[in-house]
Structure 1
Amino acid sequence: MRFEGKHSFFKGKKIKNFNNLPYTLSRHHQLYMCMRQTGVDGNKSNNFLYDGDLVSCGREINFNAKYPNLFNSFSQLVGVNLQDELVVYETKSTSIHGLRYEPGCALVLRYENDDPVFGIVRDSIVFKKDKYFVIQCTSGPAALNQHILHHTLELTNDFIIRSFCSLEYNWPLSVGKLVTMNINTHTCEIF
């Protein structure tokens, strides 16, 4: 029967200690769980119960050729002096901790006077197993349209690059089009 499958760990052990059987079984189980949670070098594992980041298919590109204006900020973000030709992996979508980032989704970059400042993700880049986003900026805080309860986004031609770790608000938000405006459904309280 499959109903007793959860007891297979305890049934599979052959223990010749009948004095305190619950203590012996629980001790073996705790040692087994400690062994599973340790990393290769014997330290605590960082990704126990986490499958890892999912990166979709993409291609290798020359970062300097595609984004010459972002080269200096990317080298500061990475923390090294980069060569003239920097090869990075550009993906169509990235899933980090269950959150899916695709080109066209919005991120809240910061708040100014309780109004959100958005940015639109244009590309996802992987460099040395770290995830970076090329973000198109908006012109200041987004105006809330009271009629349709959406924020209106006005895009500029400015681009920035941010790593996933440096995002304070890392939830991707959907962006839709309403006639000629980019709108975003961002939760807000109306008093």
Structure 2
Amino acid sequence: MLSLFKYIPFIFHQSHLTELISALVDWHSFLLLREIISISLASEIDITTIEKLEELVTRYLITFDNAYGYVQRIPKHHLLVHFGEQMHRFGPLRFTSCMIFEKKHSFFKRIKYRNFRNIAFTLADRHQHYIASLMCTCSNAATSSFLYSGHQIKKVKELDSSAAKQHYLLDMEKNLYETNQVTLFGITYVVGDAVLINDSVFPSDPVFGKILTTIVQDKIILLRLQLMQVIVFNQKLCVYEVRLLDSSVTKNVYELKHV
């Protein structure tokens, strides 16, 4: 459902419906809510993010009232007002989302129960045993992969040691590998994908890069990126239109800005 919500503007654009609904207040209300959700699910924020979120919430509520009327508001509309304060106190909202708790339902649904005398105790007891089994090994030692199972790197090809000259972080004495896909902390980077670069080459617009190749050496993961310059921000689709540049850079994956 979240993916559908995100890509609805693209679906309407490809169906040539955007021009028909672009003037509707309902559509503007939807686009504002879409931006709010996008910011709420961001992994990294700063003080400007909070200010923008609060501004968007105000504009969204006004637009919603104009489109549907104030009486159509529900309690969740009021909760939006507190998003900025919560983000300021606790950081990115995605880390305090209730979705992680909703995910727990799948555990309870796949278990067969025969004793319903104290179902709440049975559920809690089985879940605690399950979590304990993940936190400890067979020898009762703490496992290092409970919170994070580690990076996932696919289709590795070994490179010549001379390739280590491409970046100062690489060591010519150690093995060097190239891959077309790597997953770090739930984010998958594939050759051909576009990523947001943390630094700014141009004065005002963000800078994107197209992944050309991924180089791995121990815990070091570097992305070779072809720079992309922003042409314009499409407000209707809430996307940037970019063009490829002839220059490229090599970036440590941890230097990227994740939003």
What TM-score do you get using the length of structure 1 for normalisation?
A: 0.54
- Displacement after TM superposition at 1:96 (Å): 4.4
Tell me what 2:177 maps to: 89
Letter of the structure 1 residue corresponding to residue 147 of structure 2: N
Letter of the structure 2 residue corresponding to residue 155 of structure 1: D
- Displacement after TM superposition at 1:35 (Å): 1.2
Tell me what 1:186 maps to: none
Unaligned runs of 5+ in 1: 76-81, 171-191
Whether the 8 Å CA contact 1:122–1:135 is kept in 2: the answer is yes
String of CA shifts for 1:108-154, please: whole Å, max 9, x gaps: 1135555121222221123325543222345xx533388xx722232
Q: Any idea what SS the aligned residue of 2:226 has?
A: strand
Q: Which residues in structure 2 correspond to 1:149-164 (within 5 Å)?
A: 150-156=241-247, 158-163=248-253
Q: Which residues in structure 2 correspond to 1:28-177 (within 5 Å)?
A: 28-40=125-137, 41-42=141-142, 45-47=146-148, 53-62=151-160, 64-70=161-167, 72=168, 74-75=169-170, 82=171, 84-96=172-184, 99-110=187-198, 114-128=204-218, 131-137=221-227, 141-144=229-232, 150-156=241-247, 158-163=248-253, 165-169=254-258
Q: Any idea what SS the aligned residue of 1:160 has?
A: strand
Equivalences, count:
140
The separation in 1 between residues aligned to 2:219 and 2:166, in whole angstroms, is: 23
Aligned-pair Cα RMSD in Å: 3.7
- Displacement after TM superposition at 1:60 (Å): 1.1
CA 1:101/1:6 → structure 2, altered by over 3 Å: closer, same or farther?
Answer: closer
Letter of the structure 2 residue corresponding to residue 32 of structure 1: H
Q: Any idea what SS the aligned residue of 1:154 has?
A: strand
Q: Any idea what SS the aligned residue of 2:133 has?
A: helix
Whether the 8 Å CA contact 2:220–2:252 is kept in 1: the answer is no
Deviating more after overlay: 100-109 vs 22-31:
22-31
CA 1:7/1:34 → structure 2, altered by over 3 Å: closer, same or farther?
Answer: closer
CA 1:42/1:99 → structure 2, altered by over 3 Å: closer, same or farther?
Answer: closer
- Displacement after TM superposition at 1:89 (Å): 2.0
- Displacement after TM superposition at 1:21 (Å): 3.7
Higher helix share: 2
Whether the 8 Å CA contact 1:90–1:126 is kept in 2: the answer is yes
The separation in 2 between residues aligned to 1:104 and 1:26, in whole angstroms, is: 45
Q: Is 1:25 the counterpart of 2:122 in the alignment?
A: yes
- Displacement after TM superposition at 1:168 (Å): 1.2
CA 1:28/1:130 → structure 2, altered by over 3 Å: closer, same or farther?
Answer: farther
Whether the 8 Å CA contact 1:144–1:150 is kept in 2: the answer is yes
Letter of the structure 2 residue corresponding to residue 134 of structure 1: R
Determine what percentage of the aligned residue pairs are the same residue. 16
- Displacement after TM superposition at 1:101 (Å): 2.5
CA 1:89/1:161 → structure 2, altered by over 3 Å: closer, same or farther?
Answer: same
What TM-score do you get using the length of structure 2 for normalisation?
A: 0.42
Q: Any idea what SS the aligned residue of 2:132 has?
A: helix
